[in-house]
Amino acid sequence: MTISHLRAFHLVAEAQSFTKAAREAGLSQPTLSAQVKQLEARHGVSLFNRRGRKVELTGMGQNLFQVTARLFAAHDEALALLAGAETLRRGHLRIAADSATHVIPLLAQLKRHHGSVTFQLRIDNSANVLGAVLAYDADIGVAAKRSPDPRLFARALKQDRLVVFVPESHVWARRRRIAVAEIQGRDLVIREPGSVTREVFETRLAEAGIKPASLIEVQSREAVREAVLAGFGIGVVFASERGSESGIHTLEVDGVDLTVAEYVICLEEHRRLPLVRAFFAAVRAVEATR
């Protein structure tokens, strides 16, 4: 077994396709296939289930992929450290966040100082953001949740709070605040499991002994807004995200602590990567301007 055999396996596992992996690596597909077959034959294992042009990892393949992900992440980190400033001139940073509101100012700060750096931003719930970082699918996570997993490094970014919102036609639309007890018996429109918005709000209601009439579950913030506007119930959102959208009225909730902390997260092993260090420097710069 050589490092090239492991690299061939890793490329196919990432792409989930021999054809796509060969194209992205600039190799011929027969060469890539032969290296993977040699690796399997040498150790008497099956690493992929071939299904037409697509492949799926076997159990052994999944275990090996976890190892090669760490191996080649370390390899890339070594190259990045040696490249130094060159990496910052031409790098690409993958960010997963639970809210664009929290992460866009950080990207703007990073762009001002490293104008050639490119970004990929995906928005998802906090549980999936953590999962993306752990799976090496994101270099940075920004989420209202931290994990005790020792593989992760987390730095507090800011504190936010949850507020509720209703259509402007709602009976509460002339008020600025409500008591938590007023939510008793009312319908809530809320995010899917894994959302910190949902987790915190449900927990605080339970602690206060408040039971809504029903929970209407939707998959995105945009869908929550549309369902609230359609009269399905009361929505919940971070105060920093409420903006000034027409048709929507937000209210503070008294009698319950709805404070939520936001964190910047990365793999502990990636903290020294130049782009990751630059992102944390952007965090410090944004904090200094508040």
pLDDT tens string 242-287: 766 778 899 999 999 999 899 999 999 888 888 888 899 888 888 8
pLDDT at 169 over 70: yes
Mean pLDDT of 12-32: 85
Q: Which CATH class is domain 158-260?
A: alpha beta
pLDDT at 289 over 70: yes
- CB contact at 8 A, 146 and 260: no
Do 158-260 and 89-157+261-289 have the same topology in CATH? yes
pLDDT tens string 89-105: 567 889 999 888 889 99
- Domain at 3-83: CATH code: 1.10.10.10
Greater pLDDT, 116 or 107: 107
The CATH-assigned architecture of domain 89-157+261-289 is 3-Layer(aba) Sandwich (3.40)
pLDDT tens string 200-211: 899 999 999 999
Q: What percent of the chain has pLDDT over 90?
A: 33
Confidence of residue 290 (pLDDT cuts 50, 70, 90): low
> Domain map of the chain by residue range?
3-83, 89-157+261-289, 158-260
* Cα four-point dihedral sign 53, 59, 62, 67: negative
What per-residue confidence (pLDDT) applies to 84?
Answer: 53
Buried b (16+ CB within 10 A) or exposed e, 101-140: bbbebbbebbeeebeebebebebbbbbbbbbbbbebebbb
